[in-house]
Amino acid sequence: MPLPFSKQKLEEYVLDCLIPKSEIEVIESKLPLVEPTINMVRELLIQKDRIHEPINLQRTIQILKTVPVPLLNNITYLKGIYTWQNDSLNQAAELLNMIPKLNTKEERIDVNEKINKIFEKILRNKEMCFNYADIIHEGHISNLGALSESLANGFLFHTTLEEELKKLDFNSIKLRIPLEKLKEAGDIEKNVLEIRNVVEQTYNINMRMINYAVILYSCIKLMMNK
């Protein structure tokens, strides 16, 4: 790793972690899809059609309702990182180069505080761990993944005892379901898949932020040994 650090050199190390504006725009464009999808499922629940499985309709609504607020919080976080990340590279490079030259306790405290501010911004936390409590996390990934796969297998529809005993798959069961009902479920399934994809994209960006912090921490350790 060539020294001293420049902004350009540091940027090369963390390039895969940086956030392009286009990624945030894609995520933001899908946020308005969640509420209408919840309403689509809620409408099926209101109909009380025996062809549907009420418990599964309710479960679908519950899972989807966990998305909007964390996703909005995540968008706000990513926008903040996007507007800050360019300047942060300059500051981080300067601070890294200062580490081997620190002579007094006061100098070390000052640089340490400035470095901590960078980590605090990236990790959303004064501790050295990522604060994911109010944004997209693994729970959303797991629930939406399971929901998306279940919807593809007729999750919204009631299965008769005979169908259960015969262990019929959804391709067989859907032959008795009216086309308009299949279309309603298909539209919901399509929306949920889009929501799932954007939530996974958001989660992956969050993981990149953690990796950003890890790389920066490694650089600090390197400079401390100079």
Residue 2 resides in a domain: no
Answer for the pair 14, 209: CB distance below 8 angstroms, yes or no. no
Between CA 166 and CA 101 the distance in angstroms is 76
Give me the domain span that covers residue 108.
7-224
Domain annotation covers residue 173: yes
In a domain, 175, yes or no: yes
With respect to residue 123, please indicate whether it lies within any of the assigned structural domains: yes
The yes-or-no verdict on residue 2 having pLDDT over 60 is no
Identify the pLDDT of residue 3.
64
Three-state DSSP state, 177: coil
User: Does a structural domain hold residue 211?
Assistant: yes
In contact, 147 and 200? CB cutoff 8 Å: no
pLDDT at 4 over 80: no
Hey, how many other C-beta atoms are within 10 angstroms of the C-beta on 190? Answer: 12
Is there a domain that residue 1 lies in?
A: no
118 part of a folded domain: yes
CA-to-CA separations, 24 to 83, 106, 157, in angstroms, rounded: 12, 40, 35
- pLDDT tens digit sequence for 92-126: 999 999 999 989 999 999 999 999 999 999 999 99
pTM greater than 0.95: no
Is residue 177 one of the residues assigned to a domain? yes
Residue by residue, DSSP assigns 14-73 as HGGGS--HHHHHHHHHHGGGHHHHHHHHHHHHHHT-TTB-HHHHHHHHHHHHTSHHHHHH
Count the domains in the chain: 1
